[in-house]
Structure 1
Amino acid sequence: MTADTRITLVRGDITRQSVDAVVNAANSSLLGGGGVDGAIHRRGGPEILAACRALRASHYGRGLPTGQAVATTAGRLDARWVIHTVGPVFDPHEDRSGLLASCHRESLRVADELGARTVAFPAISTGVYRWPVEDAARIAVETVRATATQVEEVRFVLFDDRAHEAFAARVR
């Protein structure tokens, strides 16, 4: 993060954000799913799915690896791009925090390559992947702060009060 990068928090729907890039907490297939992934595909329309299918047919035949990120069009979203990243499934017996940090770092790297200045992140891995939201907030905020980027605003868009409170405690 550069000295000029702002971290902001919003309680709401990530698919309603007006930003350069929306980060999608995707599954490795890139073909849509539940939670944030399903919402982005539904609201963004078939253009996103078509772009994801093209990625699967070319570079990501086996899917997008956990911790990596790749961009597509944003379709009908009020954004230019969707940056898809696959978060790790939480495992209390194996430390996968490096993979969760990589999701944020790699998403910012892709944003820089695209020239994105505003990026909206969800709370990656905190839904069906069961990552404890307080720990996910710590990893996300620490990683964004430690990553050199040209992004001017990182906006964490949190779906509920609990996630918003967890991120707010880390941003202070």
Structure 2
Amino acid sequence: MKIVIRAIRQIKILFIFIVMIGIIYSCLSKKEIEAFQSIQNIEAPKTRCSAFIKFISDYPESDSISKAIGNILQILGADSDDSESAIQFAIDQLLIRSDPQIRTTLYQFIFTNLYIDTATIDHNVNNALHYDNMLPLPSATSIALLPYLDQSLSSDSIRNKLYCGFTII
């Protein structure tokens, strides 16, 4: 009888613990969703871009990361005078993101900024994704992008970052 009572108490404690975790999780995810929605309501593109960048650093495991990165790329891509900083952002994200959907979006963005021909863009994106499947990610990113960036960008900072990301297997 004492064993049954003790088991019931432990089940009650476990139930309370699970409910508390659920409440905490729902509060955190609600805060994250509210933050994302409030950023989408910002009118000024540069302010909205900065807010999305802060969002992805504040909520690195968010389900909305892909949307946030897509919004950032859209804002940065609209500023044709500063395409190198947009490519720099995309490469920075490639070096830290492993989600295939996000990586595809980032590669698509980079190659769209480097080429006009959609067949070339698609071919290069597919090659980059192939490298992603074959090699560790920093090395895959470097191998996938370095040949194209050497010809296309005036700044060495992006190429240097990729050289630093390259690791020998």
Question: TM > 0.5 between the two?
Answer: no
**Where is the helix percentage greater, Structure 1 or Structure 2?**
2
Query: Taking CA–CA contacts closer than 8 Å with sequence separation of 6 or more, which of the two structures ends up with the larger relative contact order?
Result: 1
TM-score of the pair, normalised by structure 1: 0.30
TM-score of the pair, normalised by structure 2: 0.30
